[in-house]
Amino acid sequence: MDIIFLHDFKAKTLIGIYPWERIVPQTIRIDLEIALPTSRACQSDNIADALDYALIVEKINEILATHHFSLLEALAEHIAQTVLTEFQSPWIKVSVAKLGIIRGVKKLGVRIERTSNAISDIRSHMSVVKS
């Protein structure tokens, strides 16, 4: 399996459960490891056969600008599902951390791993929860 990675991506966003977190942007750090749908790019040396890092970063910036998440877990899940579906990745690992939010703690966060097979499982679970 071929994996691309994006480490130490930092951005400011509104995230959290406390009232102040809905108005004060916080710095978060995102790390991604994304499995390539195929290994063709290794032989072809053509971006059409690879995942475009810039498009992935653009999509994450769009998510951060247009959504408010209460939990890091929900943000990580949203990023994972977006990459799995929009970029046809078979597997992803997403880490999201808040930086310097608690005195004495450099960062705190969550790490999740998802596969494209899990998408239908999650969607069916979400429809059951909504009912």
Q: With H, G, I as helix, E, B as strand and everything else as coil, classify residue 81.
A: helix
- C-alpha 70/C-alpha 43 separation (Å) is 43
Does the annotation mark 98 as catalytic?
yes
User: Catalytic one among 10, 12, 59, 98?
Assistant: 98
| CA distance linking residue 32 with residue 46, whole number of Å | 22
CB distance 16 to 101 below 8 Å? no
With 0-12 CB in 10 A as exposed, 13-18 as middle and 19+ as buried, what is 19?
exposed
- Taking the C-alpha atoms of residue 7 and residue 45, their distance in angstroms, rounded to an integer, is 23
| Active site members | 98
